[in-house]
Amino acid sequence: MIRRYWYRVALVWAFGYAAASPFRASAQSANNLPVSAALAVHVRLGHTPGDRTQDEAELHNLTGKTITAYKIALTVLYSDGQIVRADLSEDLLWKIALVDVFPDATFPGDEGFLGPNQTRISKKLRFGDRPGGIAPVRVEGGAVAIVYKDRTAVGDPDYIASVLAQRRRAADEMAPVVAEMDKILSDGEIRRAVTKQKNMPEVMNIPSAEKRFGRQLGARIESLNRGAAAERRIANDLRVRFYVGYVGGPLLIVQRAFDGYKAQQAAYAAGSTRLAKGKLTRPTTPTS
């Protein structure tokens, strides 16, 4: 989510282009570690068809730890001297959890991760030209908060607290869905079918087990839909995530989808608490 604050300045910068520029700001720290020393931010301005401006933020992890969530602050200068101040935040934990379970998988359109010494390109910024074709000419950005995979964090304490709270809510909402699917997939016939498809890739379908899965999941969704609001939410999650598009297909695909979902729930649960102060480490390979 991007928040914008509009200001007016008297000075108009006399250049009509923008290149990648490092953020120059005072460091902010929640545990005596400067955020600016942990995550470098460079912003590029580009133009899409129709001459609408599209920004890209290149984020480079300067530490030896994996970053799972971050918040960056941006200052955008337009050609008429007007300034937009904004922030962009992102929690990558769900995607990191999937990669941990499926290390060989690819994610179409992925913009990279923030492991030690890694770079991520964020294309989530959409400022665009203002009325009259007034375009951005320069953007500066810098990190204001970071949450690491080891559950240490640095920077804006309010943002850090909000990330942990959101993860806890997600973990709590996903937990009953995990419990329901665990019960269904532990059925003997269904489990044997999944094992067979794992061991024999040429076996694409096992109709009797697939029908059994569909009946059990459908019946459970119907039962939950007759309950209170919380149960109906569980029913909807089961329907959207594991019934629509899966029933009648290979059970191994269902199992893999569930493995990813379960890993995400576990990651949110584990990542919703913060450890005590952690030591900032540098990567073993030099940064460019």
pLDDT digits (tens, 9 = 90+) for 244-277: 988 888 999 999 999 999 999 999 999 998 775 5
Under DSSP, the state recorded for 149 is: T
Tell me, what amino acid is at 174? Answer: M
**pLDDT band, residue 22 (cuts 50/70/90):** very low
Q: What CA–CA distances, in Å, run from 249 to 5, 155, 196, 199, 253? A: 50, 46, 15, 17, 8
**pLDDT band, residue 229 (cuts 50/70/90):** very high
The backbone region for 132, taken as left when phi is positive above 0, alpha when psi lies in -120 to 50, beta otherwise, is left
What is the per-residue pLDDT for 145?
94
pLDDT in tens, 122-138: 776 666 777 888 888 88
Q: What CA–CA distances, in Å, run from 261 to 33, 156, 176, 205, 237? A: 34, 29, 12, 23, 11
pTM, two decimals, is 0.76
Half-sphere exposure of 239 (CA within 13 A, CB side): 14
Q: How many whole angstroms from its chain centre is CA 182?
A: 25
**pLDDT band, residue 108 (cuts 50/70/90):** low
Extract the tokens encoding 120. 């991520």
Phi, psi of 186 (to 5 degrees): -85, -5
- The DSSP result for 46-75, as a single string, is EEETTTEEEEEEEEEE-SSS-EEEEEEEEE
110 versus 153: the higher-pLDDT residue is 153
Residue 141's DSSP bridge partners are: 74
Domains of the chain: 3-151 (2.60.40), 166-270 (no CATH)
pLDDT score of 288 more than 80: no
